[in-house]
């Protein structure tokens, strides 16, 4: 049986929204089949995941020590 044709743009709309959810619906199964055979969509999905990972693992600096002293002074509290 011939399967329904999925366009890459439709696939990408969906994977962008559901990147972090389990894909189990019928639509998602179609997308999984498409991804298995489409190098473009696979590369695009991988790049989106890497974008997220780069930002998620980008370390932030520590809270400057002077901040707390300044806050307590503003609120007139003692340590």
Interface with another protein (CB under 8 A): 3-9, 12-13, 16-17, 19-20, 30, 33-34, 37-41, 43-44, 46-48, 50-52, 54-64, 67-68, 70-72, 74-75, 77-79
Q: How far is the CB of 57 from another protein (least distance, A)?
A: 5
- Cα dihedral 37, 2, 26, 16 sign: positive
Q: How far is the CB of 75 from another protein (least distance, A)?
A: 5
How far apart CA 9 and CA 13 sit, in angstroms, is 6
Q: Which residue has the tokens 């340590």?
A: 79
> Looking at beta carbons only, is 24 or 64 nearer to another protein?
64
> Looking at beta carbons only, is 24 or 36 nearer to another protein?
36
């Amino acid at each position: 049986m011939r399967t329904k044709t999925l366009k890459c743009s439709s696939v990408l709309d969906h994977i962008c929204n559901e990147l972090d959810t389990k894909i189990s619906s019928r639509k998602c199964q179609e997308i999984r089949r498409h991804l298995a055979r489409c190098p473009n969509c696979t590369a695009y999905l991988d790049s989106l995941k890497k974008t997220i990972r780069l930002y998620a693992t980008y370390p932030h600096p520590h809270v400057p020590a002077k901040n707390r002293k300044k806050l307590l002074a503003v609120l007139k509290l003692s340590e």
